[in-house]
Amino acid sequence: MYKVLIIEDDPMVAMINEQYIKRNKNFEVVGQYNDGRSALAFLENNDVDLLILDVYMPKMDGFETLRRIRNKQITVDAIMVTAANDRESLEEALHLGIVDYLVKPFTFDRFQMALEKYIAQSNALKDIDTLSQTSIDHIIDNSRKKSEGLFPKGIQEKTLLLIMEHMKSNRNVWFTGDEIGEQVGLTGVTVRRYMNYLAESGRVIGEINYETGGRPCMRYKVE
């Protein structure tokens, strides 16, 4: 199980982060801090696998925290969860070697994708001491495609998020695949493929509607 430290000065966001992490059986939260300085002191004496790290914090912001972590050669990865959506902040985060960068407000599904990206990256490097150029190329290429690799063939991340955002903005409302397609700008055939995947993974509820006055059809909702 991966150990996660949350570094976030907004109590509500910190609570959401913790709830989302607890819903993934591969992770456990080992602590929470509202500033980088206190978190750094914890990291110097405790093993942590992954940080959920904000940018704007008192005493020491997320970038300075991560720079000091790197300078002290503390082995830990980081997912940035922040309101900073400017190009300079993203570039700085990438230079510091983040796993992913989430802009507030974020969805549960997008947060879980970030955690799965971390798992994919961690597994790719596990138990490898010496790498050939071929294996290095394979790992780097896979890391670029790891978001796509989280889903079955024919399921794309952007389309999945588009449909889920629409469903969540209309909670407890039943929709057919054709209705969803009309509202988000996709074909009914495409939407039905995604809804089958979402129903199988438990993200939406699906049932057969017999009260159509004609041929029964599937309908879906998010509670």
Mean pLDDT of the chain: 85
- Letter for the amino acid at 139? I
Both tokens of 163, joined, read 């449909």
CATH of the domain at 77: 3.40.50.2300
The domain in which residue 163 lies consists of 157-221
Closest C-alpha among 51, 49, 53 to residue 123 = 49
Q: What are the angstrom distances between the C-alpha of 39 and each of 62, 89, 118?
A: 10, 21, 20
Asked if 33 and 53 count as a contact pair (C-beta separation under 8 A), the reply is no
Asked if 35 and 61 count as a contact pair (C-beta separation under 8 A), the reply is no
Q: What's the domain count of the chain?
A: 2
Co-location of 161 and 145 in the same domain: no
Co-location of 121 and 168 in the same domain: no
H or E, element range at 120 = helix 108-125
Q: Per residue in 168-190, pLDDT tens?
A: 899 899 999 999 999 999 998 89
Co-location of 124 and 166 in the same domain: no
pLDDT surpasses 60 at 127: no
pTM, two decimals, is 0.61
pLDDT surpasses 70 at 209: yes
Co-location of 135 and 166 in the same domain: no
Co-location of 131 and 173 in the same domain: no
Q: Per residue in 89-101, pLDDT tens?
A: 888 888 898 999 9
Co-location of 125 and 170 in the same domain: no
Closest C-alpha among 148, 122, 139, 7 to residue 64 = 7
Co-location of 133 and 185 in the same domain: no
CA distance 137 to 174: 46
Residue 219 banded pLDDT, cuts 50, 70, 90: very high
At 140 the pLDDT is: 58
